[in-house]
Amino acid sequence: MSERIWTAGLVVIGDEILSGRTHDKNIAQVASWLQVQGIRLAEVRVVPDVTARIVAAVNALRSENDYLFTTGGIGPTHDDITVDAVAEALGVEVVVHPEARALLTRYYADKPGGLTEGRLRMARVPQGAELIPNRMSGAPGIRLGNIHLMAGVPHITAGMLDALTGTLEGGAVLLTETIGCWTAESEVADVLREVEQAHSACQIGSYPFFREGRVGANFVVRSTGADQLASCVDSLCDGLATAGYDFTPGGI
Amino acid sequence: MSERIWTAGLVVIGDEILSGRTHDKNIAQVASWLQVQGIRLAEVRVVPDVTARIVAAVNALRSENDYLFTTGGIGPTHDDITVDAVAEALGVEVVVHPEARALLTRYYADKPGGLTEGRLRMARVPQGAELIPNRMSGAPGIRLGNIHLMAGVPHITAGMLDALTGTLEGGAVLLTETIGCWTAESEVADVLREVEQAHSACQIGSYPFFREGRVGANFVVRSTGADQLASCVDSLCDGLATAGYDFTPGGI
């Protein structure tokens, strides 16, 4: 059975991530959210606040994937250049979106300074775009075909993902099951490899850890088929038991 | 004055990051470490455990940057394919490094299972490579010219970075100073833009937050020149004061 796999690329935009000042939280939340939509995150690129670098990453990942997401650079300040860069990548103009302008006008009506020129920047979109609702602050996200421009601030991005839930077509959800073992992964490497080879519809990832003075590992079995997953997990448990290792279904 | 800027690319290898299962910690620690070495992290790519994807990312980022780092995929299990992928990218053979083999033989001498075939995988390197010491566990990192292959487990990566400290040539360290403001960044966007335009040797990043029910932002001024940085910070403080805003040197 060959089923269509839907994929997404993510471009994380921001000097603050590349300088180490800010620890990115968007990769993990976008990845987890995509899993539930039946879409696989195929690649992430983190690029600086430089137009040419954003354009290159956007064009590479949008051509290779069904969907493209960006985080960062859609705010009101001079270093927020994502809208311009994406418009350049797509070869379209930047326009003020009337609905976004109306949203911002209402949002800033009772705030100090009102709707300044800087704030009005947040109503600019690549021509043809629609808005992604943002209940957290005035500025919306932006959707243009299969491209989604989201905020850099993680809780605002979370709200935008929430607004997009169920609106994107995906494929079968990747199912996972985890088996934990208080043993070095290197001891059971042969078992893992053999079991994976015998179950072509499944992948097994091995994630070692060192806790409370002991080494261990979690083995994550992934498949889009529930039966294949169950069969692979059974084989892995049998293999570990036969080799004399205790294991913990569900992971450690 | 035009000074040479040294750059690095980072390839983060691992299905577990792209699935959202594991929150990456290596981007931030590699970025922070590079800053101190006078090297700028120019781009990060997160790719899955798929040889062709690793090869493509490695080749793209090594040709564009002075240095390349990878994290992940150098362990003992079947999903650890970084060494093979990097060797393929460079067009060299994979060989067993005698010193790595000796290290692993000693390390596993008194451990259950001894030096298994899986564990011996961790002695494999692209031909011509030298080792990066790892005091945390048996398996070393790998250095081949300007390419550095490091572990995926963050505290092991930290040890490898520590071992590399001072061994890479870099340029002037990027200096930063932060000014905090309990005001919406959108209110002072004009001030930020004008000050940045007047100080071509500096960049200003604006990082908004929402804490204790109030909005605020930190403005991070960056430059490799101490005098230019001080002058830009002074202008920014003057601009904020003139516009009637309180600010906190050092950030909030």
* B189 with A117: Cβ contact below 8 A: yes
Interface size between A and B, measured as CB pairs under 8 A: 214
Residues 181-200 of chain A with CB under 8 A from chain B are 183-187, 189-190, 192-193, 196
- Pairwise CA distance, residues A177 & A167, whole Å: 27
pLDDT for B141 equals 97
Residues of chain A contacting residue B187, judged by C-beta atoms under 8 Å apart: 112-113, 116, 118
Percent of chain A with pLDDT over 70: 99
CB contact under 8 A, A43 and B53: yes
Determine contact, residues B183/B215, Cβ cutoff 8 Å.
Answer: yes
Q: Which of B67, B87, B89, B47 is nearest to B147 (CA)?
A: B67
Please state, rounded to an integer, the average pLDDT across all residues of chain A: 94
Give the rounded distance of the alpha carbon of B19 from its chain centre: 21
- Checking if the pLDDT of A44 tops 90, the result is yes
Helix (H, G, I), strand (E, B) or coil at B204: strand
CATH numeric code, A175-249: 3.30.70.600
SS3 label, residue B167 = coil
**Cα three-residue angle A171-A147-A107, rounded to 5 degrees:** 120
Q: How far apart are CA A231 and CA A219, in angstroms?
A: 15
pLDDT at position A59 is 98
CA distance A241 to B118: 19
Chain-chain contact of A16 with B76 (C-beta, under 8 angstroms) = no
- Does the beta-carbon distance from B31 to A17 stay under 8 Å? yes
Question: Domain A6-164 - what CATH class?
Answer: alpha beta
Q: Where are the domains of chain B?
A: 6-164, 175-249
pLDDT, tens only, B195-236: 999 999 999 999 998 888 888 999 999 999 999 999 999 999
Same fold, A6-164 and A175-249: no
Does A1 have pLDDT greater than 60? no
- The interface predicted TM-score (ipTM) is 0.92
Indicate yes or no: CB of A186 within 8 angstroms of CB of B75: yes
Strands B39-47 and B6-13: parallel
Q: Given this model, what pLDDT does residue A2 score? A: 58
Mutate to test the interface with B, among A37, A65, A79 (most CBs of B within 10 A): A79
**Given CB atoms, is A246 within the 8 Å cutoff of chain B?**
no
